[in-house]
Amino acid sequence: MFLALLELKAARGRFLLMGSVVVLVSALVGIVSGFTTGLGDDTVSALRRLPATHVAFASGSKSDQFARSLIDVRTADGWSRENGAEATPLGVTITRGTTGRGTEVDLAAFGIVPGAFTDPGADDGKPLDPARPHGIVVSRQLLSEGVHVGDTLLIDRLGIRLNVVGSTGRSSYGHVPAAYVTADTWRQIRFTTPGAHGAVAADLPLQYSAVALRLPDGTDDTAIAVADRRHDTTTVPLETAFTAAPGYDGERLTMTSIQTFLFLIAPLVVGAFFAVWTVQRTPELALLRAMGASRRRLLGHTLTQAAVVVATGTAVGAALAAALGLLVGEKVPFSLPAGTLATTMIAVALVGLAGSALTLRRVTTVDPMTMLGAGR
Amino acid sequence: MSLHLHDVTVTLGKGESRTTALRKLDVTFRPGVLTALVGPSGSGKSTLLAVAGALLRPDEGQVLLNGADLAALTDRERARARRERIGYMFQSGNLLTGLTAEEQLLAAASLAGRRPRALRPKVRALLDEVGLGHRLAHRPDQLSGGERQRVALARALLVEPELLLVDEPTAAVDRARADDLTALIARTTHEHRCVTVVATHDPVVTNAADTTVDMQTHAPAATA
């Protein structure tokens, strides 16, 4: 340990250079991780907030299901009669509205039945009320975009006026802030022909995007498949339904690919540095062996140096990534909870150490005989 | 206290390049005596140092350091013997890059399992003894060839070795410094009462030695 630290001090220029590379790689991994989580949240946080276990789509809808699937109200009723199941219609559509002050906002309208398990209630103001069908509860992002409780929101081109009755926590869908309306209001938004003002809910199809389900624990796939056949639906677990959100799969694939490459690059970079470092100091390692250092001691010596460089580098990288998160605030979809950051950085440190381990064989096989004339 | 190589045979290389470096060597080295190994390149001087220094295990024979056979030890035990009982001075000093003269000795202390901080006074005394008390904070690239060798000697003496092995100590230093260094090694051998074996081509070292061993005949070549 003493010697390892002495060497670190003596070769601080080289180790600082290597440490800087580890800092940059780990910061980049942290930042990508933050964007992965942030973009994921921005795409599906409204779905993640749903206290449902499964979502049933119309049979045959294979992608972008929330936009393509249409489910009859009788299907929702049928599902609710399944043994132990709770079922409620769910409408999801992206639209645009303008407040009385002229503030234009995009919003993902979630049509829910007030009082059902999908009803988010309201943190501020009042929850949706079936007696006041044109109410809307907006998520916090819409408040920061200039929508206030008490405002009237005019849905563009449809002429539907909604009263902002309350607000709820952060939730969004497809990078658009979520807002909650009654199922009837949602049908008006979804089925009204642009320009055809004055459509009443009773004249519109009794259809929704999907059925949100809360199935008893231990419900097996066979029972779900049987129910699906009965109701002509395709039911997936809630997490699988995330892929139905627009762009979710593509974003995940892109960000995960970047992360994967960074996790491959990190050990190679660290390994390459320690390989060069080991080759460069092979005579010194031979000297240490000749002076009586055991193989185990040399291993410990090398791993200590690698651990100091990698641990310090990842810690600074983590701090940089976290600082960036604080800096950007809510301006961009960036989310890096402490747990995710810690897990990511531990993974970076481990792959970094694995990279340095690539050189250990050379360290242990160094020949002390090379110190003598016969070996030179 | 002595080093006795008894019927030691060492072969090096494999296949057609296999050569016998030492054949049935039987020689004894005494404490407080500086012995120079003489002979042309390839006569086995460095191989003898390697065998005596527990760096190389002989094919046959015994390497008895104060009665204990180094050749019979496990790898781990031989490493321990090198740390605790044997001091080395390699060609050109072979110091650790970037460490100061004082740190070179502290690193050796750490390797030997001693607490470096506690040994600092001894480290300074040893560097003083070899005439480098004023160069404690100098790194190898700030020291001359002779000074590097002196640091290596002080480092070798730190563990109070029973056996001091020296490989071509004057190969990389000028004549004046070679004389000083040789005198220092001889004085150290006599004062520390260690068994000192020097492989050399340098007549100055040979002349300063108490005894010499001709590696071609394996016989004492001269006695001072």
Select the residue of A2, A11, A374 nearest B110 (Cβ to Cβ).
A2
Among A192, A214, A236, the domain boundary falls at: A214
Domain assignment present for A236: no
Residue B222, pLDDT above cutoff 50: no
Q: CB distance from B167 to chain A under 8 Å? A: yes
Per CB-CB distance under 8 Å, the chain B contacts of A291 are 82-83, 88, 108, 111
| Among the ranges given (A60-69, A122-131, A308-317, B29-38), the one the predictor scored with the smallest mean pLDDT | A60-69
User: Are residues A58 and A107 located together in one domain of the fold?
Assistant: yes
Residues B8 and B52 sit within 8 Å (Cβ to Cβ): no
Picking from A6, A281, A289, A365 by the largest number of B CB atoms within 10 A of its own CB, the best residue to mutate is A6
User: Are residues A6 and A138 located together in one domain of the fold?
Assistant: no
Partner-chain contact A374 B21, CB within 8 Å: yes
Mean pLDDT of A79-97: 93
Please, which pLDDT band fits residue B93 given cuts at 50, 70 and 90?
low
Residue B143, pLDDT above cutoff 70: yes
Partner-chain contact B21 A287, CB within 8 Å: no
User: Are residues A36 and A61 located together in one domain of the fold?
Assistant: no
CA distance A1 to chain B (A): 9
Domain assignment present for A243: no
Per CB-CB distance under 8 Å, the chain B contacts of A11 are 97-98
- Average pLDDT score over chain A: 89
Mean pLDDT of A153-174: 92
User: Are residues A7 and A63 located together in one domain of the fold?
Assistant: no
Which carries the bigger pLDDT value, residue A277 or residue A227?
A227
Select the residue of A3, A281, A369 nearest B107 (Cβ to Cβ).
A3
CA distance A11 to chain B (A): 7
pLDDT digits (tens, 9 = 90+) for A232-279: 999 999 999 998 888 888 888 998 898 888 888 888 888 888 888 888
User: Are residues A169 and A253 located together in one domain of the fold?
Assistant: no
User: Are residues A180 and A199 located together in one domain of the fold?
Assistant: yes
Strands (E), A53-121: 54-58, 71-72, 86-99, 104-112
Residues A366 and A282 sit within 8 Å (Cβ to Cβ): yes
Per CB-CB distance under 8 Å, the chain B contacts of A5 are none
Longest dimension (CA), chain B: 53
The reported pLDDT for the residue numbered A198 is: 65
Among A214, A238, A264, the domain boundary falls at: A214
Select the residue of A281, A290, A294 nearest B55 (Cβ to Cβ).
A290
User: Are residues A202 and A59 located together in one domain of the fold?
Assistant: yes
Residue B218, pLDDT above cutoff 60: yes
Mean pLDDT of A336-349: 89
Among A214, A233, A263, the domain boundary falls at: A214
The reported pLDDT for the residue numbered A201 is: 66
Alpha carbon dihedral A342, A347, A351, A354, in 10-degree steps, equals 90
Instruction: List Cα–Cα distances, B23 to B29, B56, B165, in angstroms.
Output: 18, 15, 20
pLDDT digits (tens, 9 = 90+) for A285-327: 888 988 888 888 888 888 888 899 999 999 999 999 999 988 8
Residue range B1-85+161-224, CATH number? 3.40.50.300
Closest CA to B188 of B129, B125, B112, B102: B129
Partner-chain contact B46 A375, CB within 8 Å: yes
Q: CB distance from B88 to chain A under 8 Å? A: yes
Residue A226, pLDDT above cutoff 60: yes
Residue A87, pLDDT above cutoff 60: yes
The reported pLDDT for the residue numbered A266 is: 81
Strands, sheet with B86-89, edge to edge from the N-terminal-most edge strand: B86-89, B163-167, B195-199, B34-38, B211-214, B219-223
b/e sequence A57-70, b meaning 16+ C-beta within 10 Å: bbeebeeebbbebb
Domain assignment present for A30: yes
Select the residue of A10, A291, A374 nearest B108 (Cβ to Cβ).
A291
Partner-chain contact B108 A371, CB within 8 Å: no
CA distance B30 to chain A (A): 22
Backbone phi and psi for residue A247, each to the nearest 5 degrees, phi listed first = 80, -5
Chain A residues with a Cβ under 8 Å from any Cβ in chain B: 1-3, 6-7, 10-11, 281, 283-284, 287-295, 297, 368-369, 371-376
Percent over 90 (pLDDT), chain A: 49
pLDDT digits (tens, 9 = 90+) for B16-35: 888 888 889 999 999 999 99
Partner-chain contact A293 B106, CB within 8 Å: no
pLDDT digits (tens, 9 = 90+) for A24-38: 989 998 999 899 888
CA distance B166 to chain A (A): 10
Closest CA to A210 of A78, A70, A77: A70
Domain extent listing, chain B:
1-85+161-224, 97-160
The reported pLDDT for the residue numbered B223 is: 43
The reported pLDDT for the residue numbered B221 is: 57
Residues B56 and A290 sit within 8 Å (Cβ to Cβ): no
Q: How far apart are CA A127 and CA A125, in angstroms?
A: 7
Residue A376, pLDDT above cutoff 60: no
Per CB-CB distance under 8 Å, the chain B contacts of A376 are 91
Residue ranges of the alpha helices (H) in chain A?
A: 2-10, 12-48, 65-68, 73-80, 140-144, 183-191, 221-231, 238-241, 248-280, 282-290, 295-328, 338-357, 360-364
Domain assignment present for A241: no
User: Are residues A64 and A162 located together in one domain of the fold?
Assistant: yes
User: Are residues A154 and A62 located together in one domain of the fold?
Assistant: yes
Picking from A291, A298, A365 by the largest number of B CB atoms within 10 A of its own CB, the best residue to mutate is A291
Most confident listed range (A135-144, A261-270, B115-124):
A135-144
Percent over 90 (pLDDT), chain B: 50
Show the domain range for A347: 2-44+249-374
Instruction: Work out how many domains chain A is built from and give that number.
Output: 2
Identify the bridge partners of residue A291 per DSSP, sorted by sequence position: none
Which carries the bigger pLDDT value, residue A242 or residue B218?
A242
| Among the ranges given (A84-88, A106-110, B89-93, B167-171), the one the predictor scored with the smallest mean pLDDT | B89-93
Mean pLDDT of B179-189: 89
The reported pLDDT for the residue numbered A302 is: 86
Domain assignment present for A314: yes
Identify the bridge partners of residue A98 per DSSP, sorted by sequence position: A104, A154
Select the residue of B96, B106, B139 nearest A287 (Cβ to Cβ).
B96
User: Are residues A189 and A71 located together in one domain of the fold?
Assistant: yes
Domain assignment present for A238: no
Mean pLDDT of B132-140: 92
The reported pLDDT for the residue numbered A375 is: 44
Partner-chain contact A10 B55, CB within 8 Å: no
pLDDT digits (tens, 9 = 90+) for A91-118: 999 999 999 999 999 999 999 999 999 9
Domain assignment present for A66: yes
User: Are residues A79 and A22 located together in one domain of the fold?
Assistant: no
Partner-chain contact B88 A294, CB within 8 Å: no
Residues A94 and A176 sit within 8 Å (Cβ to Cβ): yes
User: Are residues A284 and A197 located together in one domain of the fold?
Assistant: no
Domain assignment present for A235: no
Percent over 70 (pLDDT), chain A: 97
b/e sequence A350-373, b meaning 16+ C-beta within 10 Å: ebbbebbbbbbeebeebebbbbbb
The reported pLDDT for the residue numbered A373 is: 54
Picking from B11, B20, B75, B97 by the largest number of A CB atoms within 10 A of its own CB, the best residue to mutate is B97
Partner-chain contact A283 B94, CB within 8 Å: yes
Task: Give Cα A338 distance to the centre of its chain.
Answer: 14
The reported pLDDT for the residue numbered A14 is: 86
CA distance A359 to chain B (A): 20
- Average pLDDT score over chain B: 88
